[in-house]
Amino acid sequence: MTTTPRAMILAAGLGSRLGPLSDLRPKPMLPVCGTSLVRWSVLWLRHHGIREIVINLHHLGEQIEADLGDGTALGIAIAYSREHEQLLGTGGGLRLARSLLDDGHGTPIVVVNGKLVTNIDLHRIVSRHRQGAAATMVLRADPDAERWGRLRVDPSSRIVELLGQSRAALPDAGPSSAPLMFTGIHVLQPEVLDRVPPGVQCIVRTAYRSLFDEGDGLFGEQASATEYWWEHSTPERYLQGVCNLLGGTVSLPFAERPLSGIDASARVHGAAEIHEPVWIGPRAHIEANARIGPHVQVGAGVHVDRGVALERCVVWDDVDVHHDVKDEVLGVPTAARGSL
């Protein structure tokens, strides 16, 4: 009998590359077209039939729990693994949460980094994994693969280069792939967690390294060129990720709401200029002669003053905007930081 995987969303990081924005929200709570990144991951998993999800928490984790609760409203079950004293890394976090993830029947575990938006076909990934892999890393072509940590696979999909370390492909396997990067999505058998030492650990550098060194069990499945994947680690990448979805070229059939448009409860003055694509959230107030767009996300309760121009920017909930903004993320509500 084939059983449905459980999944873990890695959401405990400090988000240090976001700078001051991480003081306000954990990275998985960055809003993208009205939906937090962690919620995007939940929706993607649910779309692929997964109904039991574990999320690890550390920095500002209470925000994540407030957003998702126990999952009932989404028709799933969410459990939380709290890393109170210190971050445990990907391996340590999975090891801590094992009792919540391992169903005792050898069912694969799906892992996804909570900073992503993707439409990669998880059904295909899990199906390929079930063909004999101990762990399957989802990979993608990227011109900056060297910077991310280069991997290669042979034609049988075995990983033959892991973070710059190579080993010989199987006899007659053929040439290895072009350089690839790890997407932060992977599938593993529960027993692979036995290979993670106690404490703060990276699963790639411990469990996956040991599988790699033994020469068997570690596979890579490539995302296709038409599948969408984006990570949001810096303000620049976050802003670009919002623009990607606003542009209307990404298909996310599991989205809870339109990826662009103006909420019915928003107040937009008739003399304001709206240059699509935009996403304007609930209760936003756009005054006369304001110019909004293109590629602008305006959060719930935002007030944009008369004549203000917003272009290619993100404004978080409840911010009052008094001056022009371009290529920026505004995150602090007016009450917390004074007028902009």
Question: What is the reported pLDDT for 1?
Answer: 54
Contacts of 290 (CB under 8 A, 6+ apart): 269, 272, 273, 304, 305, 306, 307, 308, 309, 310
Res. 176 pLDDT band, cuts 50 70 90? low
Please count the CA atoms within 13 angstroms of the CA of 72 that sit on its side-chain side.
3
pLDDT digits (tens, 9 = 90+) for 255-271: 999 999 999 999 999 99
Write the pLDDT tens digit of every residue in 26-71.
Answer: 999 999 999 999 999 999 999 999 999 999 999 899 999 999 999 9
User: What percentage of residues in the chain have a pLDDT greater than 70?
Assistant: 94
Question: What is the phi/psi pair of residue 210, to 5°?
Answer: -70, -40
At 13 the pLDDT is 87
* pLDDT for residue 78: 98
5 and 108 Cβ atoms separated by less than 8 Å: yes
The number of beta carbons lying within 10 Å of the beta carbon of residue 6 is 23
Domains and CATH numbers, the chain: 6-232 (3.90.550.10), 260-337 (2.160.10.10)
pLDDT of 114 higher than 70: yes
Q: What's the CA gap between 301 and 338, in Å, rounded?
A: 16
Helix (H) or strand (E) holding 111: strand 109-113
CA atoms within 13 A on the CB side of 146: 1
Question: Which pLDDT score is estimated for 168?
Answer: 61
Look up residue 66 and give its two tokens: 């407030």
d(CA 112, CA 125): 12
Residue 169: band (very low, low, confident or very high) from pLDDT cuts 50, 70, 90? low
